[in-house]
Structure 1
Amino acid sequence: MSGPVPAAGIRPDDLVVPPGATWQQLAPELTALLRGTEGGPSAVVLATSGSSGTPKRVRIGAAALRASGEATAQVLGGSGRWVLALPTHHVAGLQVLARSALAGTEPAVVTTAPGMPFAAPAFAEAVARLGAGSGLRLTSLVPTMLSRLLDDPVGVAALRTLDVVLLGGAAADPGLLERAREVTRVVTTYGMSETAGGCVYDGVPLPGVRVRLDPDDGRLSLGGPVVAEGYVGDEGLTASRFSPDGGDRWFLTDDRGAWRDDRLHVLGRVDDVINTGGHKVEPRDVEHALRRLDAVADALVVGVPDPEWGSVVAAVLVPRDPAVTPSLAEVRSALTDLIPAHARPRRLVWRDAIPLLGPGKPDRAAARAELAR
């Protein structure tokens, strides 16, 4: 929280959000920040999830946080009351608090015992605490959470009472989206701490947000009022990723994208493409195919070094039934009509869950290290 300078690069008027921070702890300073109260904080400092390596601390100015919240309300059709299911020290969770502060409402917090996983009953209890009232009923989730809710009748019933579910943090499987949209309105979001959270909703940039694609490799840059100030204590990295251009502030991401039917499709990280035997393989295409198999509940695909192929496609799989874990040959055979031979996994492991970073982001580095062994 703001106060004496606690670490290199932190300013006295920064609101530093520590792990485990509660709504009650953050609400006064967060409200002062969003209202521009004299003597209040001027920016929020959050740690990234570390998906590109070492976690970084991002400074998000009050104007960026406010612009994000106001644009979200404009696109979704108004402000409302939120269910907080995500950690507050990650940007999606903090945004639930910021949007609540802007709306003058208090979020209903999902309470889970330490060490226990997210579960439908706790979520349903939080939804019930929203009570009656005007305005939208909303929440923000990652795909893993949404999948657990859809697998539990209690979770399905709770989702039906909500007006909007923002879904981000990781790519959502088409099958999961199809199931969820039969229950409630689901809006997919793309963004990161460096853009004050999600800034592209269902493939459409929020008002004021701009998107550029590198003509050579499709690498994404995001610009507009939601872009953060930079990285705390790392001027070199800030200069390499953040830049003013054409009246906007821009952030260079690690992701690739493409426009299809006037919507942005995020293809994956620049360094995630697998070059195997001269063929380029998109991990997400393989993951989608694997999830269509009866035995597979979830999948994470990475490339690992191989002396013959350069790299090979490898997968961490989660079984629908722990007693049914087909062999590599059986999985490859089942994929015959779904993806070409060069895209089928040549290594796989079955695990109870996909390794994750932060709130639901796949830990590809951990998967790659395990499969390389």
Structure 2
Amino acid sequence: MKNGEIVQARNVYERAVEKLADEEDAEQLFVAFAEFEERCKKMERARCFYKFALDHIPKDSAKDLYRKFMAFEKQYRDKEGIEDAIVGKRRFQYKDEVRKNPWNYDAWFDYIRLEESVGNKGRIREVYERAIANVPPAEEKRYWQRYVYLINYDLYEELDAGDMERTRDVYRECLKLIPHEKFSFAKIWLLVAQFEISQLNLKGARQILGNAFGKAPKDNIFKKYIEIELQLGNIDRCRKLYEKYLEWAPENCYAWSKYAELERSLAETERARAIFELAILDIWRRDWWRDPNLYRRLPRGKPIGRTENLILEFSWFGESMGNKDSAFAEDV
């Protein structure tokens, strides 16, 4: 075949692909085009066309195409070609799995890891975006738990691509999608807040955590927010946060104890004592009717729960301050 005929033939194939690529029998056209390039000794063109075709034809309709591609690679293989063939086979498999079930998040994770191993940033982003577009079909937490792990998308954007604004947009879109009135994930709120802190946007982090208090208050969120403000030396903010924490969970002995511990660390003895007394008064009101002998047992027996531990802690606090009368130190 002369050069002029080769160019004309290639032009005909290219026009055919443009018009017939979506037809049911397009596989035969793709195979014929690839074999044409192979006969013309244009191995890289043939290889590229095989890969292009495999990316655009559903697996069920591309069995012959894939078989021909593998035969091509075996004949003209090199190390890079073999690796590409393996990647292509796995990509083919994952694309078919997620096409059949878009909510198979484990298949999406495998697909994403494959693309990350290849390192094509454009393809990685494309697969991530296709994955997170498949929002769980029901507002039940068990359906959302695997989906939420796709937040790794943000970690990729932030750490690898270095696109901070895009990271921020996807984080916030994730928060919008989760039906917080039914369930939520403290980890997501904390990840978003930590991201804002890493960007030196303290105001943004506080806004995120404040929204978490209103929409989905959880122990871990209160603890982390208090930890952040304590590291910054904002004691008054810590006090306000402990107050909100205890408004939300007045039975939380850990919160009462840590609040008192904060005041004690600041040498605010009277504040610490008042917090202990208020805690025990509150516990007394709630627990006395369930066990009238609770406090009488403490000096003689081992603690059996957080409530008793808090009372003993107050006792030890009173003794350390030299005031045994206010601590439950003696058998009553």
- Taking structure 1 as the reference length, the TM-score comes to 0.23
Structure with a larger share of its residues in strand: 1
TM-score by length of 2: 0.25
